[in-house]
Structure 1
Amino acid sequence: MFDPTIFDNLKTVIEGAVYDLDVTDELVTVVDRSDIIDLAKFTRAYALSFQLRHARKVTCTISLAMTLQHIANELLYEEISQAGCTMTVSFSFSATHVDGQAVEQMLKHIWGEQRTVIQTLTYTYPKHERYTHQVTIDFERMINESHVDDLLQMIPYIIRSLEHLQQYAK
């Protein structure tokens, strides 16, 4: 019988919450999903990407990652306090001008001043009329099943962020 890990349980919660927004509420559209098991490094990675159904300029990706050490801590009961996985929430969009400070202030207003907001801009050289702007909310801590309610409570923050970031996307 399959004994799910913390990673599997959190992945199921995230999938359920986002697919409810897609199918039941018709608020978002899931645009991509990735579930990777790397047997060479014995790691897990999961990502679910979606957009607001009525405004599809910005994509949100919720990512979970579990390393070999995380898995060992959980399954071998070595450092059970270090068992879990990491999670990030990223937003990406195309833009012609980027006001990184305004984006950071807006997201910190929604997510809280203590959150780490990482912004990455990429463009194709030598033409740089359009940028791909990726903004990541990094929680900088391990999560486990005790954070399920927190994950579900993040959904309104994600929706509000998607709505507000539309103004920067071109």
Structure 2
Amino acid sequence: MFDPTAFDNIKFMIQAEVYDRDLAGLFHVHSRKDLVDLATLSRESVITFSLKDSADLRVSLVVKADLEKLAGELLPSSNALPGVSLHILYFGTERSLMAERMDLLEWMWGTERRYERKKIDSDQTGTTYEWHVYFERIITEEMMDELGDLISFIGESLRTVTETE
């Protein structure tokens, strides 16, 4: 019988929270990817969504688990902490994610995280702006009750940023 890992449980909770808001008419889910890298024995899940009425600014939640995190869960002799890493990516056009809006996101998310800003110029798709927030800790199953609050906060941040002129 299959025993789900921390990655499976956390991924499921995040997806359920996002899809519940999609069904309620708050979010629109644009894509979902579940990836396995057989070379490194790592897994990654990405779900991308926006507010229902504003697809210009989107968010991707990226959940990753590498071999070390899996070993921490499955091997009693391992000292690794079982869990996942979490990374959130906001992306859109210059209008939807201008510098002032990135500043607002940094203020909303607080100083205890690591941020990255990217401007991507493409001959094919034009210019895209990205704003990344990285959690500098392992997300464990004990934190699953907080995932609903995290998704709600992301929704609020999308609303606040899109309403800012």
CA drift of 1:168 comes to 7.8
Using the size of structure 2 for normalisation, the TM-score is 0.89
**Any conservation in 1 of the 2:57–2:96 contact (CA below 8 Å)?**
no
CA drift of 1:65 comes to 0.4
Percent identity of equivalent pairs: 28
**Any conservation in 2 of the 1:96–1:131 contact (CA below 8 Å)?**
no
Other-structure match for 1:151 = 147
Other-structure match for 2:32 = 33
Using the size of structure 1 for normalisation, the TM-score is 0.87
User: Could you tell me how far apart the structure 2 residues matched to 1:27 and 1:99 are?
Assistant: 23
**Any conservation in 1 of the 2:57–2:97 contact (CA below 8 Å)?**
no
Pair 72,52 (structure 1): closer, same or farther in 2 beyond 3 Å: same
Aligned-partner residue type, residue 164 of structure 1 = T
Other-structure match for 1:12 = 12
- Count of residues in Structure 1 that have an aligned counterpart in Structure 2: 164
Other-structure match for 2:49 = 50
Is the aligned partner of 1:139 residue 2:135?
yes
Output the aligned Cα RMSD.
2.3
User: Could you tell me how far apart the structure 1 residues matched to 2:161 and 2:129 are?
Assistant: 11
In structure 2, stretches of 5+ residues that fail to align are none
CA drift of 1:162 comes to 1.4
